[in-house]
Structure 1
Amino acid sequence: MHLSVWLISAAVVLGLVIFDFYAHVRTPHAPTFKESAIWSAVYIALAIIFGIVFLIVVGPEHGGEFFAGYITEKSLSVDNLFVFLLIMTSFRVPRENQQKVLLVGVALALVMRTAFILLGAAALNAWSWVFYLFGAILLWTAWKQVKPETEHEDKVPGGAVVALFKKVVPTVDEYNSDRLTVKKNGKRFLTPMFLVMVAIGFTDLLFALDSIPAIYGLTQEPYVVFMANALALLGLRQLYFLIGGLLDRLVYLAQGLGVILAFIGFKLIFHAMHVNELSFINGGKHIEWAPEIGIATSLTVIIGTLAVVTVASLWKTRRDAERGILDSDGRPDLPEPDRADEPAVAAADAAVAEKPGGSSQAHES
């Protein structure tokens, strides 16, 4: 893609980030459902319009690659919202300040992913074995997605980095609106707003290690990779507030993403076989029998998997709600221990009260 196209596209993306800041984030407030829905639809519409124009200008192959890449990145970003929610909860970020945190996270992700995109393109052009590496990364990521939840680490990504940061830099524990620093007794301190942005930025870096190989499994055109990532990320802030309450209902999302990532991982490995130059694999010769998976097949698998995941998740949450396993919001409906044990506790208290001095002992306990 010509340099001028890159520069114009980068300027438009930067302009959208700046617009987002001044139009919605500069004044701290908690967005309404209507506001989030409208702007989510706007950013999705922008991606669709870009994809259609791109398809007409460059042809169906790269156009199809863009849509496959965009859908994959958007799906991965929905999964990332779970982690963002965990971070926001861990840092107790006030709802009206969460927009700023997310927008800064989007900006950091765009910068870091652009660097990864350019490095990935250079690596793929220089060494064909990188396709094997990217494929292995995706297969490992797919396994992490589908393994039982009990095996996942229940930690905030970037927590160790933030803990180290707090040891070397003066910080305070209370928020001061959306300010990043505060001055106390003539000394400057960092607020939790700054620390949560560090956590979000580090998390975006980890996400890039998965998402960039995933989209390079669908296209080797860096411009398509950049635009699919940028347009998927730009609506992430609005998507967070729009579907935050629905995330608990997508119970099979992790498994669905695992299937998609595994599919792309195998696709990358098959492509690596076709351009194989490693001497210890088939004597350094290309492996022609390996299947080449076209973009139409990729789109079908990605969209089909997401459709099955959505239908199956909604069916399960509805069935569990009918059986009383979930409440009306789609969350686990667990009995309250105190109320469940009330008869036993009352009986024990009565037995103690019957003994001499029992009432006093009961009060002391």
Structure 2
Amino acid sequence: MAVPAWLWLATIAGLLVLLAVDLFIVDRKPHEVTIGEAARWVVFYVGVAILFGLGIWFFAGGTPAGEFFAGYITEYSLSVDNLFIFLIIMTTFKVPAIHQHKVLLVGIVMALVMRGIFIAVGAAVIAQFSWVFYLFGAFLIYTGYKLARTDHEEEEEEYKENAALRFVRKVFPVADQYHGSKSFVKIDGKRFVTPMFIVMVAIGTTDLLFALDSIPAIFGLTKEPFLVFTANAFALMGLRQLYFLLGGLLNKLVYLSIGLSVILGFIGVKLILEALHTNSLPFLNGGEPLHVPTIGIELSLSVIVGVLAITTVASLIKVRRDPAAVKHVGEAHHEEQAKQPGQ
């Protein structure tokens, strides 16, 4: 799939317009996002992604479109798991409800820029070293195994500020309280960063850590950087509203980690099979490709959608039969956080 420079520029411009609408119109007056408002925006962003995919289908054919949709669904579903951590961060920093949308928006824009760099580097590495798919595949299988054994309550207890946050706190003085939606403020003639800025950095850098598994996963579905980037962009842009829409439902997805681990493991196997099919490592089969079956995009898309559907239904049945199974993410931090947000 040959992507001309003008299409890259037009796509990025379109994404910037969507972000501008969200930032300057939706957030013009800070407010607590209602479920109805979040639902409308989720439908809007999903609709835009579907139209984009149909456009790819019309102009480039079914295979690239299938790769885009598989990548988009995978990235979106992996991002849902991120929401548990976002909720913990919001609770830890006691972010006022009326400012949570802006925090997520700016944090995710930061993450999108950093993911763009990751994608560019990943595409360059893959173009030069096809054997990197062996590493990607093994990493995804290992990550899927770890994810299946992860308990979000344990994640909550182990959450600590990352190196980027510690660096910001070391370089800049941090105000003790929020000052509306401001990221910087002057107090007694001295400039401080506010807890609002700190939590934006926390959201952006935390999402970047999640990209360590999601970027290899989508490269397992398509090797086209344009599709990788747009799938990531649409998934991230729709993530903020999903945060408010899911609400209590998020804690009811008790089997989500298992479902995502199956998807990561499946894509990991797919990557390794493709690496074997195009093998060039001299110590393996004399540097010649191996005749192994490969997994097409149609089967990949079916498995991803099927696993997510089964995971969601099974989770809802589980919590209906056993209400105690609902995860109370964020409550421990809310009860134990005694310090001021900026400290």
- Report the TM-score, using the length of structure 2 for normalisation: 0.91
Q: 2:135 aligns with which of 133, 136, 141?
A: 133
Deviations 1:120-159 (A, max 9, x none): 1111110011111211221121112101427657333644
Once the two structures are TM-superposed, the CA of residue 42 in structure 1 deviates from its matched residue by 0.6
| Aligned residue runs from structure 1 range 126-275, under 5 A | 126-149=128-151, 152=155, 154-156=157-159, 158-275=161-278
Q: Structure 2 counterpart of 1:173, which letter? A: D
Once the two structures are TM-superposed, the CA of residue 282 in structure 1 deviates from its matched residue by 2.1
Q: For 1:197 and 1:242, how far apart are their aligned partners in 2?
A: 20
Partner of 1:77: 79
Question: How many residues get paired?
Answer: 325
Partner of 1:31: 33
- Secondary structure, in 3 states, of the residue corresponding to 1:188? strand
RMSD of Structure 2 on Structure 1 (CA): 1.6
Partner of 1:42: 44
Partner of 1:342: none
CA separation of 1:148 and 1:36: change in aligned 2, threshold 3 A: closer
* Contact 1:172–1:190 (Cα < 8 Å) also in 2: yes
- Rg bigger for which structure? 1
Deviations 1:322-362 (A, max 9, x none): xxx36xxx557xxxxxxxxxxxxxxxxxxxxxxxxxxxxxx
Segment of structure 1 superposing worse, 212-221 or 149-158: 149-158
Partner of 2:285: 282
Once the two structures are TM-superposed, the CA of residue 164 in structure 1 deviates from its matched residue by 3.9
Q: Structure 1 counterpart of 2:52, which letter? A: F
Q: 2:120 aligns with which of 118, 121, 144?
A: 118
Once the two structures are TM-superposed, the CA of residue 27 in structure 1 deviates from its matched residue by 2.3
Q: For 2:150 and 2:8, how far apart are their aligned partners in 1?
A: 42
CA separation of 1:147 and 1:293: change in aligned 2, threshold 3 A: same
Show structure 2 runs of 5+ residues with no match: 329-343
* Contact 1:174–1:192 (Cα < 8 Å) also in 2: yes
Structure with bigger RCO (C-alpha 8 Å, 6+ apart): 2
* Contact 1:73–1:228 (Cα < 8 Å) also in 2: yes
Q: For 2:10 and 2:44, how far apart are their aligned partners in 1?
A: 20
- Report the TM-score, using the length of structure 1 for normalisation: 0.85
Identity between Structure 1 and Structure 2 (%) = 55
Partner of 1:96: 98
User: Is the aligned partner of 1:87 residue 2:104?
Assistant: no
Show structure 1 runs of 5+ residues with no match: 333-365
Q: Structure 2 counterpart of 1:200, which letter? A: I
